[in-house]
Chains A and B, each alone.
Chain A
């Protein structure tokens, strides 16, 4: 439906709330200045994102009957956008809460941090709520530029600056390739709206070779954002150097948006060209799963290990994208639903882990090595139990969210193989399972250190977990278990799977 300006503004209310809250925080920081208690700024930022989430719920019902196409078709607010937007908002809220204690400990509790997180979230929300390639790019850049700054937020730490610079340089490179791909689409079809692109492809006006080139370039550009092999090499360095809560945000919200755009672009715009991308996605998924899991085994730094882990999870998600190229309508539906479930499932566990990582990190950036986790459960039984839940979820052990997510994605790949009769999907499923097996090695190692190793003698002080940290760990742990257990035991009646089902584009 298209309508008045008011309706248009209402439809993008979640993003609007984020942006307004961000600006308000900047103003607050600038004009009220030094004497201000920054808790007000955080509250403002939280208010904006919580309102955004509230609007998401309010918009869900109308959007599921007829999606909003507003601002002359520049924004498309459908259930798909709202679902992923909701995931992004949830990640934003949790990141904001867990950052407070973290930044305060380093004396860096400033308004601009929260404003940048909100701006980045705004950009990410815009990315998933449009079918217009130009707007996608706009959202991507808004989000990325904010993230470049956030990665270097610890400006007195060389690692943080290095992280920012590397992200900027490689990101610029990837953005230009993506933009080049979009340009190719325009060249072939004369439009940058995905629905128009689809129509042009349908009518046969588009030039096949240009479209294929565009497909490859777009996959490179977005592959960089979600960090799949071989476009992942920035990720470990950037993730390790960036402030831990920012890393958590990058690994979850940014990935959710990236996969949202991938699903949208592939399924809406490239329809009949998709099968040509099958082999490419197949090999990218395999390379990502194997390489990321293998290298993660060799890491001794938990943050860096989590970076590879996030690359590996992008690989599992790519398995679902591969299914879309196989001309198997039944399995494709399952795959999209599975992937949409995967993103929040992975996000809550990962955010929980990064919250704990950020809590254990000290002023000098120590506390990130596996040895630092030795005997952790004696000092922090609650956090350790939370960590165990997250780790089991990331490793794909029932009854956690991660298990159910993998179950649905792998299941979609297998039923794709059954539907198409080809052996390629089955091979991919085997690699996925193999990768998960390797994954267990480095995931469970964290638990072994936490629970079975004697704590080290050191000068680190016991700190009671701040309220925000405990809150985020509790919420993410409960969500991890609920997402894993809820659909199985009938509590919540598989709501989230139902939403994912309803959100399919």
Chain B
């Protein structure tokens, strides 16, 4: 019991509960003292991380840890236990969640130190980490869904953390609503699987038994046609993927993520870069045994992933807000991950989740430090030359940028290279020719990535300072509690890639074989050793080309971007405004919906019909009540009189009905 993995979510929940209670109880004093919040706010994730590391070493030995707390409910068709399991896939994820999470918590203590909502912030942040641990440790699809919705809730709470600003509150709502669309798909997908299992009279209560079902006696049922020629598993796979697209911000549901940057920067780093948004990738890897049975849905995922990668990368080039660059970059990198799991390279996708968690958390935290330094300025056009003022932030961010761009030997290089290589060896059931197309799209996206990443570096840290001189005097490097996590993450971002050195470069891909303890499928195995030396060479060349081009554009000939932009005319403006997708959605979906909601559902159905009915019953009841109160005269003689009447009626009734 003492070494149960249930303690990992346990301590996180405790942290959230304590901070929540402290905040509630001291609300009338304007929040709890920081000194009371910090021990639990930091203790919870760090202890959870220590527990995860201990559990990891057991999993490394080939063990699968599991623990069952109690039965949640026992339906006639299926049973759900509140149970956790940790296999190699979960172990990797929980290490990222608690490890990177703990670093970001630490950073946030510095970042949020002057915020009046300090206690509230950390109770949300701990709660988020708790739900994230449920998501990755939950042993059944339903428990995964509990975590899935929980992190969505926390994301909403944290994006709208400064809810007094209407736009920020709205960004929170937008994230919540867009995610709902995806979640409908997720729920329907899970229910479809469960009902298929139930219809064949089997009992499935966790992932392991579901896998046994899917690969064993349930295979026929899952592959039977459901809608037209699509099998059950194809339809379920498509629905589940819709959920993944919402949570992981893929086309066409990505629009909430750029707006989510309204939240405090540590939130962007933890939730909207390192952990929550990768939940979709995790889910696909977790249910890999279903997806490999649905090649059409998989090809669809791979294509959407690749297109998202390119689409978002091009938008990233034209952004001036430093957090927006990183937001679109996250969307783009998630696209890479989906391309990987889409072609069946599940462990590669997860590898990119891990490396991305490090370098993107680093970049976001660095961006937060930059914003903090020149006093809440997010526009890169008003930065420049900051490396002299903020050396630690600057150099760590450069390491993160090298990793993101895929420059060897930084971590992003290894994972991205593997993704590119794996696209050339897709699922054997894919239509021919998809592999090379994916490869080309993703290679262009990588070029854009390297370009926009270093555009950000040049604009922010180098060149003439465009900071307002008044502000510059006050600008400063962030305190140690913020820079220390940056340094640790930078070490990780630089080095973590060596866990997955491909065979082509003489490595052993330790990471890949560890994840493949859990994710076993023939599609996966086919990628082993696919990274040919030529492909590695192309990848390196592309990354360096991107970096050099941006150097040419923004350091050597700073006039080029402006002229280029003018030369592109309308197209340039279209890219800069993120292809006006938000406006398109507003015109085609949001406005018609809100208008019909107002005109039909509110004005007619709610106001006239529902309210009318309710008001009628209300006044009817009140009238009746008034009538009855007349009897309540306050005089004892009336009371006794009615008692007498009652007694007579009762006596009469026993005799008359006997």
Contact = CB atoms under 8 A, between A and B. Distances in A.
Contacts of B629: 295, 298
B657 A279 contact: yes
Given A219-B650, A379-B28, A294 B639 contact: no
A381 B621 CA distance: 32
Contacts of A278: 657
A143 B651 CA distance: 27
Contact of A441 (B618, B631, B647): B618
A5 interface: no
A233 B638 contact: yes
B610 to A, nearest CB: 15
A332 B624 CA distance: 34
Nearest to A235: B639
Given A276-B658, A294-B628, A441-B618, A233 B639 contact: yes
B440 interface: no
B622 A170 contact: no
Interface in B568-592: none
B643 A224 contact: yes
Interface in B1-29: 24-25, 27-28
Contacts, number: 101
Nearest to A180: B647
Interface string B379-400: 0000000000000000000000
B654 interface: yes
Interface residues of B, number: 35
A295 B654 contact: no
Contact of A230 (B622, B636, B643): B643
Given A209-B655, A233-B642, A276-B658, A295 B650 contact: no
B655 A212 contact: yes
A298 B625 CA distance: 6
B25 A381 contact: yes
B227 interface: no
Given A166-B636, A489-B70, A294 B624 contact: yes
Interface in B333-390: none
A216 B636 contact: no
Contact of A276 (B618, B624, B657): B657
Interface size grouping (class) on chain A: 35 or more
Nearest to B71: A490
Given A173-B640, A230-B645, A291 B650 contact: no
B650 A280 contact: yes
Given A216-B654, A295-B632, A381-B25, A230 B625 contact: no
Nearest to B655: A212
Contact of B622 (A173, A174, A297, A378): A297
Contact of B646 (A209, A231, A382, A385): A231
Given A217-B647, A220-B647, A298-B622, A170 B628 contact: no
B559 interface: no
B229 interface: no
Interface in A352-410: 378-379, 381-382, 385
A449 interface: no
B623 to A, nearest CB: 10
Contacts of B200: none
A169 interface: yes
A193 interface: no
Closest 10 CB pairs of A and B: A298-B625, A230-B646, A233-B639, A276-B658, A216-B651, A280-B653, A216-B650, A220-B647, A279-B657, A212-B654
19 contacts: A169-B640, A170-B643, A208-B658, A212-B658, A216-B653, A217-B647, A217-B651, A223-B646, A230-B646, A231-B642, A233-B631, A234-B639, A284-B650, A295-B625, A296-B625, A297-B622, A298-B625, A490-B71, A491-B70
Interface of A: 165-166, 169-170, 173-174, 177, 208-209, 212-213, 215-217, 219-220, 223-224, 229-231, 233-234, 236-237, 276-280, 283-284, 291, 294-298, 378-379, 381-382, 385, 438, 441, 489-491
Given A220-B643, A278-B657, A441-B621, 5 more contacts: A166-B639, A230-B649, A276-B654, A276-B658, A381-B25
